[in-house]
Amino acid sequence: MSGQRVRVASAADVPPGGSCLVQVDGKDVALFNVDGRFFAVGNRCPHRSGPLVRGRVEKIEEKCAVRCPLHGWLFDLESGRCLTRASATVPTFPVLCEEGQVLLGAQEGAYAGPSTLVPGS
Ligand code: FES
């Protein structure tokens, strides 16, 4: 990951299966821990601003996706692309775990792959 990194949470605060709302550059970002892999996407659904942080995470083949809690649009957590409406996307943010802290890149759209939490780090 290049560029500025911002500490947004302790990894312990977002256990596997969990999510939380964080802020980067004044933007609301939904942070997800899927089996120890962290993903970060913009929190506002482009349909009607549903809070994606409250959505259910689903695994579809190799992909992890979040379903908007309001009307069910489904977003790939890696690319931010909507899997149910081809033209819709949400921004993604690079995630890094270091020494038990979750860091996000401040630039959206620079997805660098999910970060896996190393136990004890
Ligand atoms: S607000 Fe997300 S699908 Fe409608």
Residue 73 CA: nearest ligand 1 atom is 3
On whether residue 44 sits in a domain, the answer given is: yes
Overall average pLDDT of the 71-80 stretch: 97
Top-confidence residue, 60 or 120: 60
On whether residue 117 sits in a domain, the answer given is: no
Domain count, the chain: 1
Which contacts of 42-47 are long-range, i.e. CB under 8 A and separated by 24 or more positions?
A: 42/80, 42/90, 42/91, 42/92, 42/108, 44/90, 45/70, 45/71, 45/73, 45/75, 45/90, 46/82, 46/88, 46/89, 46/90, 47/71, 47/73, 47/85, 47/88
**pLDDT band per the 50, 70, 90 thresholds, residue 58:** very high
Domain of residue 13: give its range. Answer: 5-110
113 pLDDT more than 60: no
Residue of the CA atom closest to atom 4 of ligand 1: 71
The CATH number for 102's domain is: 2.102.10.10
On whether residue 53 sits in a domain, the answer given is: yes
Kindly state if the Cβ of 54 falls inside 6 Å of ligand 1: no
